[in-house]
Copies of this chain bind each other. A is one copy, B any other.
Amino acid sequence: MVKYPAGSLTNYSQDQTTLFKPKKNNHRKDVVFSDRGMNLEQQINESNKFYLLEELAVVHKKPTPVQIVKVDYPKRSRAVIKEAYFRQASTTDYNGVYKGYYLDFEAKETKNKTSFPLKNFHEHQIIHLSRCLKQQGICFTIIRFVTLDRYFVTPASFVIKAWKAKNKSSMTLAELEKNSIEIKVGFRPTLPYLDAVDQFISKVKLSK
């Protein structure tokens, strides 16, 4: 039934075999195991893998956009990109589908303890979130306060408003507490952000 491309393991198979392979045990004893010193991107990627394999949602991080200039094709070896440049992205990092809804979000970390600096969001991200909102996507940000070990899932509408406000350089912790759904790190998934999405969807349904 399945037509494998000749001689190559698919990404899918790799996902399945490596997903829960134990990592090199270099975490300190005072670190919660489920956290394993991952950064926010790793936490979200692991959560997305979990959601994917459990058939709960299909969300992927977009690859870094790269302009490829020169590629070598060595004999008996795979192609090597020898010259390339980073291009500016035109979207957020993550999108996908969940229960018929389009999801789109950006994830950011800060070491601050009392506020999140708005300059961490780039104009193209704000524009993209606005456009997706107009198309009735479920759009949000995930902000991690590293020092506080707190995670906020915030509707894009609030973030866009704050970003566009004159003389406003950050969202305070109090504002985020008031306008977000706070989530806690778990084991499977690492970061259960779909719990917050479920609440956004309930609100959308109520308003219809």
Using a CB–CB cutoff of 8 Å, the interface residues on chain A facing chain B are: 1-5, 8, 10-12, 15, 52, 55, 57-58, 60, 62-66, 68, 78-91, 95-102, 104, 118-119, 122-124, 127-128, 131-132, 134-137, 163-164, 166
A55 touches which of B57, B118, B134 (Cβ 8 Å)? B134
Partner of A64, one of B60, B63, B131: B63
Given A80-B85, A84-B84, is A1 in contact with B164 using a C-beta cutoff of 8 Å? yes
Number of copies of this chain in the oligomer?
2
Q: Which residues of B contact A128 (CB under 8 A)?
A: 58
> Beyond A3-B123, A123-B5, is A136–B83 a contact (Cβ under 8 Å)?
no
Q: Which chain B residue lies CB-closest to A78?
A: B85
Contacting residue for A66 out of B12, B63, B131, CB 8 A: B63
- From B8, B12, B102, B124, A100 is in contact (CB under 8 Å) with B102
Query: What residues of B have a CB within 8 angstroms of the CB of A68 in the complex?
Result: 64, 66
Q: Which residue from chain B places its CB closest to the CB of A60 in the assembled complex?
A: B91
Q: How far is the CB of A138 from chain B (nearest CB, A)?
A: 9
Contacts of A90 in B (CB 8 A): 11-12, 15, 60
Q: Are A132's CB and B58's CB within 8 A?
A: yes
- With A12-B127, A99-B136 as known contacts, state yes or no: A122 contacts B5, CB within 8 Å: yes
